[in-house]
């Protein structure tokens, strides 16, 4: 990566950190806020799913737009809209208005991740690309560590205070983004007559369809785990809120270590495709180990293995998406993220239903799906490894 892009890279990391802080800041206060506004379990589920549903539909739109008008304006739209919607949260005193604002937040903030990934693809190549995407994943992991902690701490005084703080942080970064984010998409690299992929039956013909399905399965398995793990851990070893908070903090730390510190060297040695498959195997094995864990120590170790596997798959699969060519990367990354959002929509629903039948079913199902997608699509993943995009230079 060129030195001239170090500062933009820092800005992108801060943006993704703040997006995940905003996603996680509501976790400790949401049940109380919804209840305070007269809601129930159904409305709580609607609130949680509204964000991912909007991401599913709008991430491809923002990615395609960034291919047309450039990365910089789309990132700025996402960041400013994200900050403003959190201020709207703070002023909302109606449950359905709150859900509508949550949907609006997902709609606008979905502009940031695929466009940031496309921005990185414009300025990096090879292992540096995987490393930079790993750093974005690490920043998001840090956001999920600090977000819930910040929400719980600020929520003691008022349910609305965390929203105002998150919005203020996002808007505070906006001037720096305006000043330090140069455009990276050259006019010569913008797709003109190229057919841009979109959601239809034709998507199965997209060369990247195997990666889209892979991201769906990864997100689906992760969502089932996140939805049911607290119940499983409570039943198996008596975990309560304190133990759950400590466990997820540990998982976040390991995610940051792998994605932020190790992924670049691992890609240079093993390649993106091998790390994607290894991560899937780690996750599948860990899901079985979680079921078999006889005590707290083995349960936590199994969940750490799951997080390590997840951290290996995330940035490397995103990097493989960018290695299909120089045109339409924003659109392809938007579709990639959209399939992940679909997994986060369906995962909690299926995980809860399967857990009701037998508490081990979400974990057995997730493991089988992860193993299956690697066995079916493993050769296709290898074929992406040799494709690369040229390093973009700032015009």
Q: Which tens digit of pLDDT belongs to each residue from 214-260?
A: 889 988 998 888 778 877 888 888 877 567 667 777 887 888 888 77
* Separation CA 51–CA 103 (nearest Å): 5
- Confidence at residue 147, expressed as pLDDT on a 0 to 100 scale: 77
Low-confidence ranges of the chain (pLDDT < 70): 1-5, 27-28, 30-32, 40-42, 44-45, 48, 126-127, 130, 187-202, 204, 241-242, 244-245, 324-330, 384-395
> What does the block give as tokens for 237?
């070893």
- Confidence at residue 45, expressed as pLDDT on a 0 to 100 scale: 63
User: What is the torsional sign of CA 147, 86, 314, 356?
Assistant: positive
The CATH number of the domain covering residues in 1-182:
1.20.1250.20
- The residues, any chain, with a CB within 8 Å of residue 74's CB and separated by 6 or more, are 62, 65, 66, 111, 115, 330
Neighbouring C-beta atoms of residue 203, cutoff 10 Å: 14
CA dihedral 332, 338, 343, 349 (to 10 degrees): -170
- Confidence at residue 41, expressed as pLDDT on a 0 to 100 scale: 56
State CA 97 to chain mean position distance.
25
Rounded to 10 deg, the angle between the 6-24 and 161-180 helix axes is 160
Is the fold of 1-182 the same as that of 204-388?
yes
Given the candidates 3.50.7.10, 3.30.1330.60, 1.20.1250.20, 3.40.50.300, the CATH classification of the domain at 204-388 is: 1.20.1250.20
* Separation CA 252–CA 362 (nearest Å): 22
Give the residue extent of every domain in the chain: 1-182, 204-388
| Alpha helices (runs of H) in the chain, residue ranges in sequence order | 6-24, 30-36, 41-69, 71-91, 95-109, 112-123, 126-154, 161-180, 209-237, 241-257, 263-270, 272-292, 296-322, 329-357, 361-385
């Amino acid at each position: 990566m060129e030195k001239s892009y170090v500062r933009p890279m820092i800005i992108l990391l801060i943006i993704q950190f703040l997006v995940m802080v905003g996603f996680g800041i509501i976790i400790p206060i949401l049940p109380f806020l919804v209840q305070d506004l007269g809601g129930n379990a159904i409305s709580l589920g609607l609130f949680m799913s509204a964000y991912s549903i909007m991401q599913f539909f709008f991430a491809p739109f923002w990615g395609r737009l960034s291919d047309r008008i450039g990365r910089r304006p789309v990132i700025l739209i996402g960041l400013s809209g994200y900050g403003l919607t959190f201020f709207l949260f703070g002023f909302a005193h109606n449950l359905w208005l709150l859900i509508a604002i949550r949907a609006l937040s997902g709609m606008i903030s979905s502009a940031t991740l695929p466009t940031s990934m496309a921005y990185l693809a414009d300025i990096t190549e090879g292992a540096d690309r995987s490393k930079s995407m790993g750093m974005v994943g690490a920043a998001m992991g840090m956001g999920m560590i600090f977000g819930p902690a910040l929400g719980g701490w600020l929520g003691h005084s008022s349910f609305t205070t965390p929203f105002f703080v998150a919005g203020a942080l996002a808007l505070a970064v906006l001037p720096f983004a305006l000043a330090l984010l140069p455009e990276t998409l050259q006019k010569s690299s913008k797709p003109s007559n190229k057919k841009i992929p979109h959601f239809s039956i034709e998507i199965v013909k997209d060369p990247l369809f195997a990666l889209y399905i892979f991201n769906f399965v990864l997100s689906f398995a992760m969502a089932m785990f996140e939805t049911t793990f607290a119940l499983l851990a409570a039943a198996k070893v008596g975990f309560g809120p304190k133990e759950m908070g400590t466990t997820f903090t540990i998982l976040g730390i390991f995610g940051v270590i792998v994605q932020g510190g190790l992924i670049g060297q691992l890609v240079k040695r093993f390649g993106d495709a091998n790390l994607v498959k290894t991560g899937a195997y780690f996750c599948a094995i860990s899901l079985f180990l979680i079921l078999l864990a006889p005590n707290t120590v083995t349960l936590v170790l199994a969940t750490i293995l799951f997080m390590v596997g997840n951290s290996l798959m995330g940035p490397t699969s995103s990097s493989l998406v960018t290695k299909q060519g120089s045109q339409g990367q924003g659109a392809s990354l938007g579709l990639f993220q959209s399939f992940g959002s679909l997994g986060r929509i369906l995962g909690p629903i299926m995980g809860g239903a399967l857990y009701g039948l037998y508490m081990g079913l979400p974990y057995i199902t997730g493991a089988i799906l992860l193993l299956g997608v690697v066995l079916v699509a493993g050769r296709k993943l290898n074929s992406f490894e040799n494709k690369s995009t040229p390093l973009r230079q700032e015009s």
